[in-house]
Amino acid sequence: MNRLEQKIISDGIVREGNVLKVDSFLNHQIDIDMLNWIGEEFKRRFSDVKVDKILTIEASGIALASVAALHFNVPVLFAKKTQSVNVDGEKFCSQIASFTHKCINNVFVSKNYLKAGEKVLIIDDFLAMGSALEGLTDLVRQAGAEVAGIGIAIEKGFQEGGRKIREKGYRLESLAIIDEMDGTTGTIKFRQ
């Protein structure tokens, strides 16, 4: 087991509805040492890939992507969910269905920060049904930029997102892939 998998076993809580709670170290309180290991691991796995920018989505992707960005020495851009008077000019927009909040979010990035030809590494905390990644890859496509790879901390391998993303040919690296999770017993099984 790698460090993230050990942390999930020791501190993660399996909830009803296929939800894994990791808010003691990733989604609410943040274990920065754990995040730093995740950032280093993404850098190691994507060491052969040119990355100009990291793209994630607010809110929980931001901390993870920011620590990773230190290892890649590139800026982080996060897709916003709420309209803001602080974002000037034209935007690329997409829609993302939220697995945890059961709603549709209109997400956007400013055209100032995503440019044609840029090599973009997408990073997020979870991969479940794949909606967040569909929206983020759509923003990259609209900009004429290129998805250099996708780094996920926790993939729920029993949901369909990972398969859909791999079938599309993206290079997807998930640091912990959960193949089975039982809310009654709290058991978690990782892919070997």
Stretch that binds ligand 5GP, among 70-78, 82-90, 123-131, 136-144 (CB under 6 A): 123-131
Answer whether 43's CB lies under 8 Å from 145's CB: no
Least distance to ligand 5GP, CB of residue 56, Å: 9
Stretch that binds ligand 5GP, among 31-39, 108-116, 120-128, 168-176 (CB under 6 A): 120-128
Where do the H-state alpha helices sit in the chain? 3-11, 32-45, 61-72, 131-143, 161-167
Least distance to ligand 5GP, CB of residue 117, Å: 27
Rg of the chain's alpha carbons, rounded to an integer?
16
| Cα(161)–Cα(158) distance, integer angstroms | 9
Of 42, 92, 108, 126, the residue at the interface with ligand 5GP (CB under 6 A) is 126
Cα–Cα separations (whole angstroms), residue 139 to 108, 132, 145, 175: 8, 11, 9, 24
Stretch that binds ligand 5GP, among 20-28, 42-50, 109-117, 136-144 (CB under 6 A): 20-28
| Cα(73)–Cα(111) distance, integer angstroms | 22
Q: Is 155 in the site for ligand 5GP (CB under 6 A)?
A: no
Of 132, 139, 175, 176, the residue at the interface with ligand 5GP (CB under 6 A) is 132
Answer whether 176's CB lies under 8 Å from 164's CB: no
- Binding to ligand 5GP by CB under 6 A, coded x per residue (else -) over 65-104, reads ----------------------------------xx----
Residues 47-66 that bind ligand 5GP (CB under 6 A): 60
Least distance to ligand 5GP, CB of residue 121, Å: 16
Q: Is 9 in the site for ligand 5GP (CB under 6 A)?
A: no
Cα–Cα separations (whole angstroms), residue 118 to 78, 141, 144: 15, 11, 8
Q: Is 30 in the site for ligand 5GP (CB under 6 A)?
A: no
Q: At what angle do helices 61-72 and 32-45 cross, to 10 degrees?
A: 50
Q: Is 125 in the site for ligand 5GP (CB under 6 A)?
A: yes
